[in-house]
């Protein structure tokens, strides 16, 4: 198994492929120099992890196949075969969340599909990292999904044990129970949320990275209840209603969106 952290400096090249949906694509975390980035693509925790790896390795070859809105079957059909073809040293896989949050979804069935994906990816010999789902208890509109997510998480842990994967336990990251960890749509991490997630992934990998994902948030300014209510109404109109509309019509935010890094290419850093 490939070494990371202090051992990574002993290697000339590390290859890394990220699979999943909007979480891994990096939604709501634009590059600081986004005007110079092709297609204005997002950064996100996976790009940040690749950057941290590049601090310790001569060359990081990185592909990100994740596309917003993808369901587990789409990830399996469109991304897993490509990842197997690329045969990287490291794979991160986060998938199934878009299935779980749909009304009437069955976490047991989604987990069976996820296990099949991990089995296929494990044949590459890569180090595989998987992610639990977020605890939605802090979000009133999504709190009712908590039981399904918890059930799915238990399956994910069992799958990880079966195939020797490492787990990023997102559920236990209480630091994300703060609105500042989330973008205005309340569905995707903010830039600060992605930064902290990258540090957590590096911790699991054993990759030294400057910063502490558990660092307490600064004391928040008090908000008047009327301002909070107006924000809730704006969010429902601008984000919740369109999201429900896409679900009802079978459309996805990822329709016609291509992976931002479809091939393993040397990483070019875009630091702040």
**Average pLDDT of span 43-65:** 96
Structural domain containing residue 102 = 5-214+259-266
Residue 136 forms part of a structural domain? yes
Say what the pLDDT of residue 2 is.
Answer: 43
Q: Say if CB 153 and CB 114 are below 8 A apart.
A: no
Task: Please tell me the total count of domains within the chain.
Answer: 1
Residue 144 forms part of a structural domain? yes
Please choose, from the candidates 54, 120, 44, the residue with its C-alpha nearest in 3D space to the C-alpha of residue 82.
Answer: 120
Q: Which of 75-79, 138-142, 191-195, 236-240 has the lowest mean pLDDT?
A: 236-240
Say what the pLDDT of residue 6 is.
Answer: 45
Residue 133 forms part of a structural domain? yes
pLDDT in tens, 4-29: 544 544 568 999 999 999 999 999 99
Please choose, from the candidates 206, 152, 197, the residue with its C-alpha nearest in 3D space to the C-alpha of residue 170.
Answer: 197
Q: Name the average pLDDT for the chain.
A: 87
Residue 272 forms part of a structural domain? no
CB contact burial 12-49 (16+ within 10 A = b; e otherwise): eebbbbbbbbbbbbbbbbbbeeeeebeeebbbbbbbbb
Say what the pLDDT of residue 39 is.
Answer: 53
- Cα-based distances in Å from 222 to 59, 138, 174, 227, 228: 46, 18, 20, 10, 10
Angle at 204 between CA 263 and CA 208, to 5 degrees: 85
Say what the pLDDT of residue 199 is.
Answer: 98
Residue 271 forms part of a structural domain? no
pLDDT in tens, 146-203: 999 999 999 999 999 999 999 999 999 999 999 899 987 878 999 999 999 999 999 9
User: Looking at the predicted structure, is the pLDDT value of residue 254 above 70?
Assistant: no
Task: Please state at what angle helix 146-163 crosses helix 107-122, rounded to 10 degrees.
Answer: 30
């Amino acid at each position: 198994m490939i070494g990371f952290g202090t051992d990574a400096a002993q290697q000339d090249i590390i290859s890394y492929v990220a699979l999943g949906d909007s979480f891994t694509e990096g939604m709501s975390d634009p590059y600081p120099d986004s005007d110079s980035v092709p297609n204005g693509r997002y950064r996100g925790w996976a790009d940040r992890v690749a950057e941290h790896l590049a601090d310790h390795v001569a060359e990081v070859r990185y592909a990100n196949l994740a596309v917003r809105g993808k369901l587990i079957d789409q990830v399996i059909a469109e991304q897993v075969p490509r990842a197997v073809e690329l045969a990287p040293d490291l794979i991160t896989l986060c998938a199934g969340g878009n299935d779980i949050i749909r009304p009437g979804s069955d976490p047991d069935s989604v987990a069976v599909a996820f296990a099949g994906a991990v089995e296929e990816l494990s044949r590459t010999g890569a180090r595989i990292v998987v992610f639990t789902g977020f605890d939605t208890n802090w979000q009133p509109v999504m709190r009712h999904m908590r039981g399904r997510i918890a059930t799915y998480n238990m399956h994910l842990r069992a799958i990880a044990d079966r195939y020797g994967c490492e787990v990023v336990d997102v559920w236990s990251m209480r630091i994300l129970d703060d609105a500042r960890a989330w973008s205005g749509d309340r569905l995707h991490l903010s830039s600060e949320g992605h930064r902290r997630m990258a540090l957590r992934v590096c911790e699991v990998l054993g990759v030294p990275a400057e910063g502490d994902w558990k660092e307490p948030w600064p004391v928040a300014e008090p908000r008047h209840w009327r301002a909070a209510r107006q924000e809730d109404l704006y969010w429902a109109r601008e984000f919740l209603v369109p999201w429900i509309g896409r679900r009802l019509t079978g459309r996805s935010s990822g329709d016609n969106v291509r992976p931002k890094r479809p091939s393993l290419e040397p990483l070019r850093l875009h630091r702040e």
